[in-house]
Structure 1
């Protein structure tokens, strides 16, 4: 029975051992990012460095042996060769110490830089964004990003180089063991076994250290939020006006302590256990040195041999002096990256049954888009934001989607972009499910300006060109899009024109008002249309503009949209009356559809909303979000 009970345990141990080997192989593969030339230099460096201690011990032993057995008259000639060898080895050792850090620093930069690119690519190119909103995914990003913010964090570059150094040091262990065995074979297990035990204790402490740090990541993430708030010009306004400075700093201090106090406590406990390391080194070395010294005193061993044993014995413990924390931390970083990849690609969209050939012409006509029985519930919630919604976007039309706040308008757009997968139903383009088209191919055909659009701290030209970043930049299209959006008037006032950074934090940069930024975003959208997008979606694109300016913007949009379809979401009903069709989204479904005049004649919810807004406008209310000019 004991054999049957023990077998599963042996299988588990075997699987864990194989997994550990595979993890280390994956870590070593990261070394390829250092480049063949630099990697070859580092390997040669490590091999030479591993042989220096044993070579130094032998050279020193020969030198002492000859000095002790040669007459003074012939001492110079006899001792010259070992003396030169000893001096050369000392110089080599010092030279290796001098070049180690520059070589390793350059390799770490290359390896970690390549790893960060992989993390960024993985996070930015995943088909949907739902996973990025989950706290556990943000923790994995923090673990995998290889961008240390404090002394507890390690990177794949650190881990891979330390693991390579450890493997190279095994050659040093063999050479040191050969020197010891030349005197007595029993010295090898006497010194090597305790040295291995010391390394295992170090590894255990490093694993505990890393696990303790992982438990404090949430505190670090929260501290980062408040650190960004107190140093950002955006949040800085409220921090100062509301007197939040001391309160925010207190939060930072509390969360930093949440992250580091457990690590500090563990560090103190590990320090108290250093006596075990001390004894594991002192006792075996003491036994070996006393035995060799007694043998020398009896005349059984020469002074030179004893010196070689002393030097080789102490080098055994230096062989295992590799930074274990780097290896453990690097392995954890690589594992976190693998887990992050699984989380972000846990449910890849199905492949098209018959993918188009590579030379197939690109679609140039706007598609007929259908939402068929679409339902959606945000992860972690129960309320259906959309509930069996049916809607068509006809080719070339200007469709306006209106509804109260929280009706699901922005969610509808995110689903159209493929940023979330529907809970039920589907979205088709010309009869093909957009999932089968593929996220990348589908997004080539559409352009979306979200309500919470990004204000890139780049030049004005870059801010517009990012509207279709996957196509070659077209300067003429940038100019035309700016004219179509009315941004050319603002552009004339920028100190460096198109090359002006749109952020005061950049050298020579300026800040724009909310309305001016929306003109930038409209130019961004129209640039996408001019460079191939055939479905343009604008989510509250003119919320910062007054009604008259908004009317002019919509007129420009209608005149310059070409044959593209346009979906417009707006809270102002006075301007969407220009749309070819207006649909009202209420309680997750389309409840009314038609032209403005048809919906007014229907005298339903749309007509009631329009009447309320018209009355507010007659009484002088202006519901734009903010006013302001270029400053």
Structure 2
């Protein structure tokens, strides 16, 4: 009952006018069987000149029913679409507004999101909109049952339970069967996620390129089919079991109905009723049997019930409020300790670091030292196990694994920032990021889609995409962000472009607190201060010159890189490459 009421509550997103229209359509549809039964009986029992009136009445009822049946799908689709739109918006809000990465990364949460998306490609044809309108139709249908019951009662009251009770018993059994069927589907949802992953690998351009080069397309197809069979094999087996049991359930309701027909027919033959009454009772009994035992609505109700339950579980597992970050001037880490969920390795073990407003600090360290982890904590994607982080929000970040959105250049840069778009800030962000040359070659300028699969779209190189990600972060600083985090922002750039960018970094980030992470130590020497992260702590910090004079780990790392670069330069000079 709770799930049924939950489906009805979803109809608040339909709007009062459309909801009233939908109820009216369902009410006419529900009253139609009883009206047809009475009109048919009247036609059979009418003689002489009155037969024309009876025909016109029956014809009018049938035409009304046909008109409603033509109009009904459009109203249902519109109402269900509004419910589904609100559902998708709620799911998106749950996944982005308050959810931290640890919550989203849980397998249980990923499974629930997969179910809640209600995507037909996931073998879920029933959406919350389908369930909501079907539940409303079921409620109104029971009103129509009362009118048909009145027709039966005109013959004898006991005909009502004789028809209704077996049909309801059949319905309850079918509901139980479908509920179990969807439990089988939900049990294999992880295989469904894996199946989609392998399928996407074969068709996404980047992964598909490697599949063709290395010839493992057949291997991908095999992995895909394994997960399809692992997920849908039990579902198909349950389908066959249900098909066998459906006949027995049908007989449970059909045999009593046949008995009712026999009894009414026998009574009419014995003179206990008229042919008109017989016609009305037979028609009404059949319509009641159909209205109660109708099967397609069970699929919609039970399938959408699974989706609604998934949303309810997500609301329980995901925080509804955004993560609260302590406010401060610049950035301050104090005694921060952190280990990733369900792991024992301490990534950060007492980090103390401050970045003053407008200061540029470079963070360096070996691979796996925790530099990127520190940026995720700074951005509020994870919460520290202990210690405090105070930051002047909002924060703009360029991650190593930045996202390549299949949107226009303008949308890629302004995504998530000030609305409406600040044209001057957009232009300056693109220019400061070094996108002027790229922009000059785009056919539609800022409106060019950055995806070859879209009409008029183009694709960019890895380095050009990195400049777009940088422009997005710079645009955020132009529209309110006071802290900028650059995690390997030039990994895809050539040396000349990188040197030019870092040479202008102070000017383009003036007044902004900057945390720069880079493995290329020659580029970080321009920072106001360099901090070395080692063993989960900041072990050295100061200007480049101070750390070189210290002769510690930073100085050794710098010397190793400088030696490799110098040796490579000399080798190329000897080979005449640079002459």
Question: TM-score, normalising length from structure 2?
Answer: 0.94
Contact 2:486 2:515 in 1 (8 A): yes
**CA displacement at 1:620 relative to structure 2:** 2.3
Does 2:77 match 1:91? no
Does 2:527 match 1:579? yes
**CA displacement at 1:263 relative to structure 2:** 1.0
Question: Mean Cα displacement is larger for which, 161-170 or 104-113?
Answer: 104-113
Report the 3-state secondary structure (helix = DSSP H, G, I; strand = E; otherwise coil) of the residue aligned with 2:336. Answer: strand
- Cα displacement string for residues 247-305 of structure 1 (whole angstroms, at most 9, x for unaligned residues): 11111111111121111111111111123222222221121111111111111111111
Aligned-residue CA RMSD in angstroms? Answer: 1.9
Query: Which residue of 282, 287, 292 maps to 2:259?
Result: 287
Alignment of 1:53-72 (within 5 A): 53-67=33-47
Query: Which residue of 29, 36, 41 maps to 1:49?
Result: 29
Contact 2:118 2:124 in 1 (8 A): no
Q: How many residues align?
A: 568
Alignment of 1:317-396 (within 5 A): 317-320=289-292, 321=294, 323-345=297-319, 367-396=329-358
Does 2:428 match 1:448? no
Aligned to 2:575: none
**CA displacement at 1:346 relative to structure 2:** 7.4
Name stretches of at least 5 consecutive residues in structure 2 with no aligned partner: 571-579
**CA displacement at 1:99 relative to structure 2:** 2.1
The 1:349–1:449 alpha-carbon spacing in structure 2 relative to 1, beyond 3 Å, is closer
**CA displacement at 1:150 relative to structure 2:** 5.4
Query: Which residue of 142, 155, 161 maps to 1:170?
Result: 142
- Cα displacement string for residues 26-84 of structure 1 (whole angstroms, at most 9, x for unaligned residues): 211211222322221110011111111111111111111123xxxxxxx1x22222221
Question: Mean Cα displacement is larger for which, 452-461 or 569-578?
Answer: 452-461
Query: Which residue of 430, 450, 461 maps to 1:513?
Result: 461
Contact 1:460 1:499 in 2 (8 A): yes
Question: Mean Cα displacement is larger for which, 281-290 or 157-166?
Answer: 281-290
Q: Distance in 1 between matches of 2:435 and 2:353?
A: 33
Contact 1:582 1:596 in 2 (8 A): yes
Aligned to 1:105: 77
Aligned to 2:491: 543
Query: Which residue of 306, 314, 318 maps to 2:286?
Result: 314
Contact 2:334 2:352 in 1 (8 A): yes
Alignment of 1:543-622 (within 5 A): 543-620=491-568
The 1:192–1:576 alpha-carbon spacing in structure 2 relative to 1, beyond 3 Å, is same
The 1:125–1:269 alpha-carbon spacing in structure 2 relative to 1, beyond 3 Å, is same
Q: Distance in 2 between matches of 1:515 and 1:58?
A: 77
Contact 2:333 2:351 in 1 (8 A): yes
Question: Mean Cα displacement is larger for which, 586-595 or 546-555?
Answer: 546-555
**CA displacement at 1:148 relative to structure 2:** 2.2
The 1:453–1:621 alpha-carbon spacing in structure 2 relative to 1, beyond 3 Å, is farther
Aligned to 1:415: 377
**CA displacement at 1:552 relative to structure 2:** 1.5
**CA displacement at 1:169 relative to structure 2:** 0.8
- Cα displacement string for residues 328-355 of structure 1 (whole angstroms, at most 9, x for unaligned residues): 1212211111111221117975799xxx
**CA displacement at 1:621 relative to structure 2:** 7.4
Query: Which residue of 447, 469, 486 maps to 2:417?
Result: 469
Q: Distance in 2 between matches of 1:114 and 1:621?
A: 60
**CA displacement at 1:477 relative to structure 2:** 1.3
Q: Distance in 2 between matches of 1:501 and 1:589?
A: 43
Aligned to 1:457: 406
Name stretches of at least 5 consecutive residues in structure 1 with no aligned partner: 1-19, 68-74, 353-362, 430-441, 623-631
The 1:418–1:574 alpha-carbon spacing in structure 2 relative to 1, beyond 3 Å, is same
Question: TM-score, normalising length from structure 1?
Answer: 0.87
Q: Distance in 2 between matches of 1:376 and 1:411?
A: 9
Report the 3-state secondary structure (helix = DSSP H, G, I; strand = E; otherwise coil) of the residue aligned with 1:504. Answer: coil
Does 2:226 match 1:254? yes
Q: Distance in 1 between matches of 2:224 and 2:51?
A: 65
Alignment of 1:141-156 (within 5 A): 141-149=113-121, 152-156=124-128
Aligned to 1:355: none
Report the 3-state secondary structure (helix = DSSP H, G, I; strand = E; otherwise coil) of the residue aligned with 2:369. Answer: coil
Q: Distance in 1 between matches of 2:261 and 2:479?
A: 79
Q: Distance in 1 between matches of 2:518 and 2:432?
A: 20
Question: Mean Cα displacement is larger for which, 270-279 or 231-240?
Answer: 270-279
**CA displacement at 1:547 relative to structure 2:** 3.1
Q: Distance in 2 between matches of 1:221 and 1:312?
A: 48
Query: Which residue of 462, 478, 484 maps to 2:426?
Result: 478
Contact 1:471 1:531 in 2 (8 A): no
Query: Which residue of 199, 208, 218 maps to 2:180?
Result: 208
**CA displacement at 1:494 relative to structure 2:** 2.1
Q: Distance in 1 between matches of 2:157 and 2:225?
A: 57
- Cα displacement string for residues 426-449 of structure 1 (whole angstroms, at most 9, x for unaligned residues): 1124xxxxxxxxxxxx64x32111
- Cα displacement string for residues 174-194 of structure 1 (whole angstroms, at most 9, x for unaligned residues): 111111111011111111100
Aligned to 1:35: 15
Aligned to 1:397: 359
Q: Distance in 1 between matches of 2:559 and 2:323?
A: 45
The 1:511–1:556 alpha-carbon spacing in structure 2 relative to 1, beyond 3 Å, is same
**CA displacement at 1:480 relative to structure 2:** 1.4
Q: Distance in 1 between matches of 2:481 and 2:133?
A: 47
Report the 3-state secondary structure (helix = DSSP H, G, I; strand = E; otherwise coil) of the residue aligned with 1:212. Answer: helix
Report the 3-state secondary structure (helix = DSSP H, G, I; strand = E; otherwise coil) of the residue aligned with 2:101. Answer: coil
